[in-house]
Amino acid sequence: MKNAIMLLAIASTVFFAADYVSAIPVVEVSHSSDQCVRVINFESTFQGATEYTCDNMPGKYSHVWVK
């Protein structure tokens, strides 16, 4: 019984962590002007959809350089 509970706790933690990481938005920044061009939002199973924009930047994001 203890092993089943421990396995469930570990599996839940891994699932929540994977969901969080997969929902981090991508911010595309122009290489020439060094300004935000677009923010790509991803939906999270537990946190829902986020609506970040270049004016409303997320606190944590993946940075991608574009032309």
Instruction: Record the pTM.
Output: 0.68
- pLDDT digit string (tens) for 31-62? 999 999 999 888 877 777 778 999 998 888 88
Domain membership of residue 16 as a residue range: 2-66
Residue 37: partners with Cβ closer than 8 Å, 6 or more residues away: 28, 29, 30, 54, 66
Number of domains in the chain: 1
Q: How many other β-carbons are positioned within 10 Å of the β-carbon of residue 39?
A: 19
Q: State how far the Cα of 14 lies from the Cα of 34, in Å rounded to an integer.
A: 35
